[in-house]
Structure 1
Amino acid sequence: MQSDRHAETVLTAERPVALVVDASFDSDTFTIDTTTIDGQRVVVMQQKDGVRYLTAAETLALSRALLSRLAYVGFPEGGDR
């Protein structure tokens, strides 16, 4: 039996917090959320024509795009810390 060198499971007691994002691309609105399927956290993109589960590569690309947009627009200021 050969092990997969590219996969690693990290156990943690930390409970992930879902971040729901409504984004508009090409005049269409998507709701982006997370859920757990078979013990794995996955990213779900809800579109008007159905639900899509993103692959790890798509999730990384989406994260980079959102962070890039926040860096360009700027993070919200204010609020109590």
Structure 2
Amino acid sequence: MNKMLIKLTGTALAAMLITGCAANNEDVPPPENEQPPAEEPMDPDMEQDENNMEEDMQEDENKMEEDMNKDEEDAENDQQ
């Protein structure tokens, strides 16, 4: 009896899901031809901050390369 009840309940749930998902037969309206929003001009302070960040990143990269070169030179000197 219990197995039969589970089978009937499962079948009923599956039927409800299938009919519920297929209930919307309406066509989707085509998108309106709208212009995308124009980008707002960047705040001058934020633009300066962005430039400073790029300069800082470049300086950090240069420092890392110098440190790597020093480490390689030290390793070569240690071997000699």
Higher helix share: 2
Return the TM-score normalized by structure 2. 0.25
Larger strand fraction of residues: 1
TM-score for the superposition, normalised by structure 1: 0.25
The structure number with the bigger radius of gyration is: 2
Greater relative contact order, per chain length (Cα 8 Å cut-off, separation 6+): 1
